[in-house]
């Protein structure tokens, strides 16, 4: 049974037609790149798949069960979201922010215990943040803040991770590190990542979903659909595929 | 300072505020007399048990309600500037109360009119802001602030047309005044119930404070929680304000003072807000009736005089 499946999914926001009758069949172990120009609805589609904003029509199934029949808490155990932006108003420590990821796993009257703190510490360690765990998040740099948000997602440990531009604010070292962690840690999970870097998509993703912006979509295996032709039409620019050392890159031509 | 020692301090402050309230006033009573039980009937006995302690109890309940309402409003609106009055509840209450004073109705009718005005305001804000599909913090905030501005015009109008001899009473009401306030066990029970409810929902509050979308993604039923928050915070405010007028500062300052001292966890913040808000108002009220005795100063002036320096100290202490 597929982990995440959509049937006749239509999503719109304002005048933008994000997808028409989208049929997806996604499985554990797959990593999907979500590509499209600015404003084609990548974030909205991520929110819809997480049940955070309603679809116009169609159905989403998680493990064969309609998403509408899950409670918010059940969804949070299955699906984790890394949002594109966060707007933290009140002070909070890095540890407190990370521990929030345990929320769906705890009962109403239960408090975070030693086990939960251990899980959070492990996530902080993976994000090189253990030394900063008592710092107020408002004193962090943009990249440290992003890693805290990722640590929270790792602590939540969902089956499906929806990542909205995860490498925002990250330096190259942490970009590669974070992408590798997602690839390695979540090997038995399903990852859907909205991206602007095609070369990251070719390197780290097994599948891709291209949003044209007019409701048309292309989805499939990354090596089959990430072609010069498709990408030139998607972004409206001239692109070339360059190969070296057995790897290949897409480079835009400026003229 | 650890959370336990802060709690210890808060309980001490609370006890001290009640002792001061019993001892201070136009007739001062020594602590030895109070502690020896005041078993013999007489003036001190009457003063303490029939006037000062009931008034201190009323101050504690109102202060606790305002501080808790402020804390919950700040989470609901995700805005550190939110206080219990930000959504216009006080404007509705003041309009009701001032109309009652204008028509020469007694203090019980003034209380009732204030409560009715507050409820009207709560329902108006809820219906207007909730009619839309998206019940966003900003829409709620703007609806409340605009309604508050409307109420303010009403209040100014009533003040303009009122005869001079009633203006004094109206100003006292507007600045907050506890001299006629008495609370019943029901008030205390309601405060206790919402405190316990808030304490057990603290993990949800912690997560909602980070953002509505994030909270939904982490499994919080945000719509239900926000409606609960809206109505409990509004109800606490409506009751406190109809009992004691619009006492300022407590609802805004106490939650922030506590956040600066003990962090962001609402498990600690919910009970601590009630304790500190209550004690602060008992202290302020005690000073307001004893500093210039027998003249009574509106308690709102004292909450500001006590609160502003304390708050500024905490704010700048943490900067270094």
Query: Which pLDDT tens digits describe chain B residue by residue (320 residues)?
Result: 688 888 999 999 999 999 888 888 777 777 667 666 666 666 777 777 778 889 999 999 999 999 999 999 999 888 888 888 888 888 999 999 999 989 988 888 888 998 999 999 988 888 888 765 566 778 888 888 899 999 999 999 999 999 888 888 888 888 888 887 788 889 999 999 999 999 999 999 999 998 889 999 999 998 899 889 988 998 999 899 888 888 888 998 899 889 888 888 899 999 999 999 999 999 999 998 888 877 788 888 888 888 888 878 877 875 54
pLDDT band with cut points at 50, 70 and 90 for residue A45 = very high
What are B92's two structure tokens? 């509705």
The number of helices, as runs of H, and strands, as runs of E, in chain B is 15, 0
SS percent in chain B: helix, strand, coil, step 5: 75, 0, 25
What are A149's two structure tokens? 């948000």
The per-residue pLDDT for B248 is: 81
Terminal-residue alpha carbon distance, chain A: 48
Residues A106-129: what's their mean pLDDT? 91
* Distance, CA of B119 to CA of A138 (rounded, Å): 38
Residue A112 burial by CB count (10 A; 0-12/13-18/19+): exposed, middle or buried? middle
What are B230's two structure tokens? 């809206």
The per-residue pLDDT for B57 is: 93
HSE at residue A124, side-chain half, CA atoms within 13 A, is 22
* Cα A223–Cα A228–Cα A230 angle in degrees, nearest 5: 80
Sequence-distant (6+) residues with CB within 8 A of B229 are B72, B73, B75, B76, B205, B208
Q: Would you list the domain boundaries of chain A?
A: 4-252
- Distance between B211 CA and the closest CA of chain A, angstroms: 7
Transcribe B138-201 into DSSP letters.
HHHHHHHHHHHHHHHHHHHHHHHHS-HHHHHHHHHHHH---TT----HHHHHHHHHHHHHHHHT
Q: Do A106 and B203 touch (CB under 8 A)?
A: yes
Substitution target from A14, A81, A96, A100 for chain B, most B beta carbons within 10 A:
A100
Residue B5 burial by CB count (10 A; 0-12/13-18/19+): exposed, middle or buried? exposed
The per-residue pLDDT for B320 is: 45
Residue A143 burial by CB count (10 A; 0-12/13-18/19+): exposed, middle or buried? middle
The per-residue pLDDT for B317 is: 73
Residue A12 has pLDDT above 50, yes or no: yes
pLDDT, one tens digit per residue, over B39-52 is 666 677 777 777 88
pLDDT, one tens digit per residue, over A161-201 is 999 999 888 888 988 888 888 888 767 899 999 999 899 89
What are B142's two structure tokens? 């703007």
CATH number of A4-252: 3.40.50.300
Of B203, B259, B264, the CB nearest to A103: B203
Substitution target from A44, A89, A153 for chain B, most B beta carbons within 10 A:
A89
Assess A90–B contact: CB distance below 8 Å, yes or no: yes
CATH (domain of B219): 1.10.3470.10
pLDDT, one tens digit per residue, over B205-244 is 999 998 889 999 999 998 899 889 988 998 999 899 888 8
Range of the domain at B276: 3-317
Contacts of residue B213 in chain A, CB cutoff 8 Å? 47, 52, 83
pLDDT, one tens digit per residue, over B123-152 is 888 888 876 556 677 888 888 889 999 999
The per-residue pLDDT for B132 is: 55
Residues A94-104: what's their mean pLDDT? 94
DSSP strand E in B64-125: where? none
Sort strands A79-82 and A160-164 into parallel, antiparallel or unpaired: parallel
Substitution target from B134, B214, B218 for chain A, most A beta carbons within 10 A:
B218
| CA atoms B221, B222, B228, B232: torsion sign | positive
Q: Do B80 and A89 touch (CB under 8 A)?
A: yes
The per-residue pLDDT for A118 is: 96
- Distance between B216 CA and the closest CA of chain A, angstroms: 7
The per-residue pLDDT for B40 is: 66
Residue of chain A whose alpha carbon sits nearest to that of B77: A89
**Is the CB of residue A238 less than 8 Å from the CB of residue A255?**
yes
* Distance, CA of B202 to CA of A109 (rounded, Å): 9
Contacts of residue B216 in chain A, CB cutoff 8 Å? 52, 72
Tell me the pLDDT of chain B averaged across its residues.
86
Structural domain count of chain B: 1
């Amino acid at each position: 049974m597929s982990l995440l499946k959509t049937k006749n999914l239509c999503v719109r926001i304002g005048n933008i037609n994000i997808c028409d009758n989208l049929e997806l069949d996604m499985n554990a172990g797959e990593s999907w790149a979500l590509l499209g120009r600015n404003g084609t609805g990548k974030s909205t589609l991520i929110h819809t798949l997480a049940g955070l904003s309603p679809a116009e029509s169609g159905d989403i199934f998680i493990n064969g069960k309609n998403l509408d029949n899950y409670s918010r808490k059940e969804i949070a155990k299955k699906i984790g979201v890394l949002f594109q932006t966060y707007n933290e108003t009140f002070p909070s420590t890095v540890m407190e922010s990370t521990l929030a990821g345990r929320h769906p796993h705890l009962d109403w009257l239960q408090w975070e215990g030693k086990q939960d703190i251990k899980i959070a510490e492990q996530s902080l360690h993976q994000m090189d943040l253990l030394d900063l765990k008592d710092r107020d998040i408002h004193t962090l740099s943009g990249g440290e803040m992003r890693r805290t948000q990722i640590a929270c997602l790792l602590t939540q440990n969902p089956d499906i991770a929806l990542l909205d531009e995860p490498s925002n604010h990250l330096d190259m070292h942490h970009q590669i590190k974070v992408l590798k962690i997602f690839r390695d840690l979540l090997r038995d999970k399903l990852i859907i990542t909205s991206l602007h870097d095609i070369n990251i998509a070719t390197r780290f993703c097994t599948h891709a979903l291209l949003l044209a912006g007019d409701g048309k979509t292309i989805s499939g295996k990354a090596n089959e659909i990430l072609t010069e032709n498709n990408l030139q039409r998607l972004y409206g620019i001239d692109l070339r595929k360059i190969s070296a050392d057995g790897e290949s890159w897409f480079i835009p031509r400026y003229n | 300072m650890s959370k336990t020692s802060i709690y210890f301090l808060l309980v001490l402050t609370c006890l001290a505020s009640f002792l001061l309230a019993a001892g201070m006033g136009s007739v001062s009573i020594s602590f030895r007399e109070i502690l020896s039980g005041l078993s013999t009937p007489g003036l001190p006995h009457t003063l303490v048990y029939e006037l000062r302690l009931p008034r201190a109890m009323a101050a504690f309940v109102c202060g606790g309600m305002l501080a808790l309402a402020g804390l919950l409003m700040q989470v609901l609106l995700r805005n550190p500037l939110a206080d219990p009055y930000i959504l216009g509840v006080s404007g509705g209450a003041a309009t009701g109360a001032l109309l009652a004073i204008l028509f020469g109705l007694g203090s019980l009718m003034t209380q009732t009119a204030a409560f009715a005005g507050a409820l009207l305001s709560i329902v108006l804000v809820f219906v207007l802001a909730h009619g839309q599909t998206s019940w966003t913090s900003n829409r709620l905030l703007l609806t409340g602030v605009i309604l508050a501005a409307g109420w303010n015009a009403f209040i100014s109008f009533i003040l303009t047309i009122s005869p001079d001899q009633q203006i004094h009473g109206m100003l006292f009401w507007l600045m907050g005044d506890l001299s006629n306030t008495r609370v019943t066990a029901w008030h205390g029970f309601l405060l206790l119930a919402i405190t316990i409810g808030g304490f057990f929902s603290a993990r949800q509050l912690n997560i909602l404070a980070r953002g509505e979308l994030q909270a939904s993604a982490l499994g919080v039923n945000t719509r239900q929680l926000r409606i609960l928050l809206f109505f409990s915070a509004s109800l606490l405010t409506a009751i406190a304000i109809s009992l004691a007028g619009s006492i300022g500062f407590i609802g805004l300052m106490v939650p922030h003072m506590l956040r600066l001292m003990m962090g962001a966890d609402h498990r600690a913040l919910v009970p601590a807000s009630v304790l500190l808000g209550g004690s602060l108002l008992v202290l302020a009220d005690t000073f307001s009736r004893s500093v210039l005795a027998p003249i009574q100063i509106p308690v709102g002036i004292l909450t500001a005089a006590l609160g502003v320096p304390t708050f500024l100290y905490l704010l700048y202490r943490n900067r270094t």
